[in-house]
Structure 1
Amino acid sequence: MKCSINREIDTLSSLKRLNGQLSCAVIQGLDLTEADLDWKNLECDGTVFMGCHFPTGVDEQSLRRRGAMILPRFENLPYEPYRSALYSREELMQGWTPGHDNSVDKSIYDHFHSKGGNEADVLEALAQRLHDHAVDDALRDLLEGRVEKDGRKKVVAVMGGHGTPRTDPYFKKVAHITRQLTRAGYFIASGGGPGIMEASNLGAWMANAEDEELDTALQILARSPVYTDPGYMSRAQEVIDLHPAGSSSLAVPTWFYGHEPTNFFSRHVAKYFSNSIREDGLLAIATYGIIYAPGSAGTTQEIFMDATQNHYGTFDWISPMVFLGKKRYQEDTMLFDCISQLAEGKKYAEMLLCTDEISEVCAAIENYVPTTA
């Protein structure tokens, strides 16, 4: 059967609603052992089963003869290539204690490293690509409002140095900025690691907190300023324990930099194996702007990638580029001047700002009207 539309099914409740009419459905990563289906008479022409568990006795060859495609499961992996949802902090940190890190996150990183990282063999590489495709799909569900049932997200990304200490003034500034933007209805996305990335998700998490509560959280975190310090993750857990019901935001980390801990303050974690897919994707989803706090080579690369997307209208929209840190971007480097010169005659030239003021950063984002390329 040639299917014009493929229905994506990733929950048993969605499967049940089909009443056995599975033609042109893509069944993603489900345990079907308890599914109430008449397997012998199932309509499955054009159906794709991706990594599903079948009940004992189901004749998979019969399903194929009736038009189904079955993509088999991968065995003995610490991750699920066909997962149907993003990660959560709780899932990734399962097994972690202040005394020892036996987390799922570390287990996957150790596996990735043992398989050669980006030089994995063909089957491991295939499993990783399927996993990253599944994360892409789950991320789309979140951003289009199907997960939190709140409509399409107004995504603002924040970039900056992974090594920025929790005691740095820009760490505090970023937390205040993202708290204000979250309160204003924007959805904060970061690279998911330490430094400025953690500050971004922290501010979003604390959106409903008072100023004094955010200051207390910053003081707790400051006792272990950088991610190599003893107690770094325990300090974050202390803040979570004080404020367990934080607001939603997104982290987009990668096991390519798996030695850096995924920060604790994002409700949704789109963690990838491929760093290139992760970096380009994070910039692409930030349709309501990107804020650049001081950073080094990685942040500089992201600035030029973002400028390229705006310059050529790669994803049909252009959006603000806000540089937080005049010293970094206008004195120590010529990055802001370089991007400004590049943007001359283009729509995004009017969406460039370099400032040190929290209010000006937020105003630049909040005053933005979505603009097509």
Structure 2
Amino acid sequence: MHPTPAQPYDGTHDREIESLAEFDEVVSTRGTLAHFRVQAVDLTDRTDVLLAVDTAGAVFLGCPMDPAAATKARTGGALVFPPIPGLSFDPYRAFVYTPDELYASLDEGYASTPDALTYRWFQQTKADGDIFASMLRAIHDDAVSDALDELLAGSPVVGVMGGHAMARGTDAYAGAARLGRELARSGLTVATGGGPGAMEAANLGAYAAPFPDAMLPEALGLLAEAPTFTPSVTDWASAAFEVRTRWPGGGTSVGIPTWFYGHEPPNPFAAHLAKYFSNATREDGLLARCTAGVVFLPGAAGTVQEIFDSVTPNYYESRGEPTPMVLVNRAHWTERLPAWPLLRKLAGGRSMEDRIALVDRIEEAPEALKRLGG
């Protein structure tokens, strides 16, 4: 049941308007915008409505509107945060990104895309120490977190973590893609760090899930022609969009990248990209949302960090029941980067002890995850 318009805003989602269709429905059925939050909705064609409707206690976040409508809303008791001109991103956005959105204008080269332009803005404003820019980044990241929560509500999410250096055309990349496909086919929502390498491979696998098995080897062959994002992000991303064009309508998954590592472009196989400025916010949010467990493929410093970022809430049970953790490749995690022995030491005698596993082959990961309760 919706609260009556006279009630103050109580933080529930029935007070948020995130599309023009929702705006029209609220005005039609409720006859008021009092205490509603209208987020990044273009209202330039709704001037007559805004001049007539009650806006007491409403908040308009980055909504383009006629100046007369904005004045009426303010005098009627609303807070109006206007759009910020000249930005390559919307700090008040209501939804996570799509690959098409971040890679718009890719045909002119990656440097022309909103993704690259936003990274350049980030670098410049960090160097300037501009407090206004810091505020915009914080608002943006909070809006992305809100959108991600809404997107994933009720979904069993499994994380696949691994290094960006895993090249297309390798056996490891193909194995990570098959892992993502199997996890998606089992009904789980695959979430990754949203970048290249192992992350892209897992998102590709989820994309391939609805297609016959023969699709994935063909796609892997096409991608192998641009094995890494260096020296050309344009060629690397274009190969991915070629796969998407040849096999449209693939399965959905989530990527959670960051402009903090701006040299790593987001991969186009994650249908939903929750891209952040703050890497700390991104890391914590990614792992916290992996309710069905996390699979850690071989990686370097970033993946090691993710392992122990995941360990901490499991160790202290700060998020309730520990989530399963599966490390893949015994030699990597016991010899090259011996995270597994330390993980076992930490887990000893605690409830998380029965929620961790080390497997040799990537093909063993889904069964291990299931066995641990994921």
TM-score, normalised by the number of residues in structure 1? 0.90
2:214 matched to which residue of 1? 212
1:3 matched to which residue of 2? 9
| CA offsets 1:284-340 (integer angstroms, 9 cap, x no match) | 100101111111111111111100011122333421110011110123232112111
| CA offsets 1:218-251 (integer angstroms, 9 cap, x no match) | 2222222222145322322332222122100011
The answer to whether the aligner puts 1:97 opposite 2:99 as a matched pair is no
- What letter is aligned with 1:265? F
Q: Is the 8 A contact 2:155 2:189 kept in 1?
A: yes
- What letter is aligned with 1:172? A
SS in 1 for 2:93: coil
Distance in 2 (CA, whole Å) between partners of 1:128 and 1:179 is 34
Distance in 2 (CA, whole Å) between partners of 1:239 and 1:198 is 13
Distance in 1 (CA, whole Å) between partners of 2:90 and 2:338 is 44
The residue correspondences of 1:328-343 to structure 2 (distance < 5 A) are 328-343=332-347
Unaligned runs of 5+ in 1: 145-151
The residue correspondences of 1:39-58 to structure 2 (distance < 5 A) are 39-58=50-69
| Paired positions, count | 361
The answer to whether the aligner puts 1:121 opposite 2:130 as a matched pair is yes
Q: Is the 8 A contact 1:10 1:30 kept in 2?
A: yes
Higher fraction of helix: 2
Distance in 2 (CA, whole Å) between partners of 1:208 and 1:13 is 30
TM-score, normalised by the number of residues in structure 2? 0.90
The answer to whether the aligner puts 1:87 opposite 2:59 as a matched pair is no
Distance in 2 (CA, whole Å) between partners of 1:225 and 1:218 is 10
Alignment CA distance shift 1:352-1:368 (3 Å): closer
Q: Is the 8 A contact 2:103 2:115 kept in 1?
A: yes
The answer to whether the aligner puts 1:309 opposite 2:313 as a matched pair is yes
| CA offsets 1:142-199 (integer angstroms, 9 cap, x no match) | 101xxxxxxx211111111111222333222111111001001000111111111111
Over the aligned positions, Cα root-mean-square deviation in angstroms equals 2.0
SS in 2 for 1:46: coil
Identity %: 37
SS in 2 for 1:260: coil
SS in 2 for 1:34: coil
Distance in 2 (CA, whole Å) between partners of 1:334 and 1:38 is 63
1:287 matched to which residue of 2? 291
Residue 45 of structure 2, aligned match among 23, 30, 34: 34
1:176 matched to which residue of 2? 178
Alignment CA distance shift 1:288-1:100 (3 Å): closer
1:361 matched to which residue of 2? 365
SS in 1 for 2:266: coil
Distance in 1 (CA, whole Å) between partners of 2:349 and 2:325 is 16
Residue 244 of structure 2, aligned match among 237, 240, 245: 240
1:268 matched to which residue of 2? 272
Distance in 2 (CA, whole Å) between partners of 1:244 and 1:38 is 39
Q: Is the 8 A contact 2:47 2:66 kept in 1?
A: no
SS in 2 for 1:58: helix
User: What's the CA shift for 1:98?
Assistant: 7.5
- What letter is aligned with 2:328? L
